[in-house]
Amino acid sequence: LTYSRKSPGLHIIHIAAEMAPVAKVGGLGDVVSGLGKALQRKGHLVEIILPKYDCMEYDLITDLKALDVVVESYFDGQMFKNKIWIGTIEGLPVYFIEPHHPAKFFWRGKYYGEHDDFKRFSFFSRAALELLYQAGKKPDIIHCHDWQTAFVVGTKHHFIGIYAAKGFNSARICFTCHNFEYQGTAPASELASCGLNVHHLNRPDRMQDNSAHDKVNPVKGAIVFSNIVTTVSPTYAQEVCTIEGGRGLHETLKSSSKKFVGVLNGIDTDAWNPSTDNYIRVQYSADDLQGKAENKDALRKLLKLSSSKVTQPLVVAKASANTVFLQDQHMEPYGATLCRVNVGCITRLVPQKGVHLIRHAIYRTLELGGQFVLLGSSPVAHIQREFEGIANHFQSHSHVRLLLKYDDALSHLIYAASDMFIIPSMFEPCGLTQMIAMRYGSVPIVRKTGGLNDSVFDVDDNTVPVQYQNGFTFITPNEQGLSNAMERAFQYYIRSPESWQQLVQRDMRLDFSWNSSATQYEELYERSVARARAMTRV
């Protein structure tokens, strides 16, 4: 199995269920490739293991080929063969596991949401570990992401004696939970399928769910057994240690506090770069914003939204003293003649994202005289239905368009075309869309929670130095809170176009690259590896 370590750096294996841009559902996919590339640039040998899904973007994998090896792994009392494929995604070597199991675990036309997800991913986790040790790999770090790969941690812990006897080294395990809402909890008996001992693991100090004692919780197991546990922002790390935020795991996390840390995600600044982005109509930069106005126009044409100037008074606040009337000669930022503020929103439509507030933002934007474009889809049937209703209602409206699908190419154009970007989340582990939006000069309007609290600082917050003020925030998760932040944003845009332009430029120049987050991961890995080495010397 091809790659070997050439540099003095660490050998790091990421095991995950997603990787952008090939198999992406949300931020997890972005993190695996963004962090992977940043660590590779720092001189480490980084390899990724993914399931071989039928529905991946195969065009984006370079040199995909089946290896001439078969990896056998245990499941439900039998050994199954796994075909191993290798390819390169954006310069990173990736192994794909194709199980030869009659249930065709990754041949379902989708990534998640199957009745047997627990089986699918516990199979994958076991097979990934088998791949590593049957291939004789000796990584320093195995980095697992989310509950789908948390079984690797339990399996490695459980079989450590067996693996060690077969020459598998004692790699340090890092587990990152990208969202504590998803813990993969299932009846304890299901754990036996991948060869784990239910009796041994279904204990309060191990993998047993904290509220249902006949259930196992893969995320809890991973917290207990990993050497390093991270989540995706410092604020979220604090929130999940509280009874309100911990989704039942706050005590487990508190007792693991020495190894638990929040590291703010970065974004892939190569993939998200308005000055080189081929998905957008006109490339632009903080030094030349003209292209931004042209993208705005292109999106309007594409979605058949009105490009007409604003002729009606724009009511910015209900109190008449604050009502702002737009004049025809008024200039909008970027030097274009006045047209409407474009408010964008790109999101999974799930309760976490504040769907009721997203709905409110559509109507409030219209009242404020703006245009609203939503790109989102929902795995929750009633939310999808509700938004289909709203989409139909506005289907030929001049100022609102709802696109209920996943569309990476279109997302780039919306980031480029929007002036403001709405993220009214109930909770947000990190959130990437606010960082991407800022990189494209779209000013975020966000609820102060989780990673949004660590990356967006209010323009009107005098306690924050001006150079860090980059958006509009609100705390109370209700319509009033959001409306207030939107009104302040609209006022700023209309009343002070020059200041708005400076704000846009400041946002575009902020560094949300993976550099500093990857350095934090590197330090965590190195400290853990050094501790392990010190322990073996004793």
Q: Which residues sit at the interface with ligand ADP, rule CB under 6 A?
A: 26-27, 30, 346-348, 375-377, 406-408, 411, 430-433, 436
Q: Which is nearer to ligand ADP, 187 or 477 (CB)?
A: 477
Residue of 381, 302, 394 whose CA lies nearest to 349: 381
Q: How far is the CB of 166 from ligand ADP (least distance, A)?
A: 37
Q: How far is the CB of 352 from ligand ADP (least distance, A)?
A: 7
Residue 458, both tokens: 């209010």
Residue of 273, 258, 30, 5 whose CA lies nearest to 139: 5
CB distance 493 to 326 below 8 Å: no
Q: How far is the CB of 431 from ligand ADP (least distance, A)?
A: 4
Burial of 415 from C-beta contacts in 10 A (0-12 / 13-18 / 19+)? buried
Q: How far is the CB of 24 from ligand ADP (least distance, A)?
A: 7
**Alpha helices (H) in 186-229, listed in sequence order:** 198-201, 218-225
Residue of 283, 278, 309 whose CA lies nearest to 294: 283
CB distance 514 to 268 below 8 Å: yes
Q: How far is the CB of 291 from ligand ADP (least distance, A)?
A: 20
Q: Which is nearer to ligand ADP, 407 or 461 (CB)?
A: 407
Q: How far is the CB of 62 from ligand ADP (least distance, A)?
A: 22
Q: Which is nearer to ligand ADP, 31 or 39 (CB)?
A: 31
Count CB atoms within 10 A of the CB of residue 381: 8
Report residue 248: phi and psi, to 5°: 85, -5
Give the Cα separation of 185 and 215 in Å (integer).
6
Q: Which is nearer to ligand ADP, 241 or 346 (CB)?
A: 346
Q: Which is nearer to ligand ADP, 208 or 453 (CB)?
A: 453
Q: Which is nearer to ligand ADP, 249 or 423 (CB)?
A: 423
Burial of 319 from C-beta contacts in 10 A (0-12 / 13-18 / 19+)? exposed
Chain position carrying tokens 């000069």:
441
Q: For residue 367, what are the contacts with CB-CB under 8 A and spacing of at least 6?
A: 315
Q: How far is the CB of 412 from ligand ADP (least distance, A)?
A: 9
Q: Which is nearer to ligand ADP, 144 or 375 (CB)?
A: 375
Q: Which is nearer to ligand ADP, 134 or 433 (CB)?
A: 433
Q: How far is the CB of 528 from ligand ADP (least distance, A)?
A: 26
Angle between helices 146-158 and 117-134 (to 10 degrees): 50
| Nearest residue to ligand ADP on Cβ basis | 27
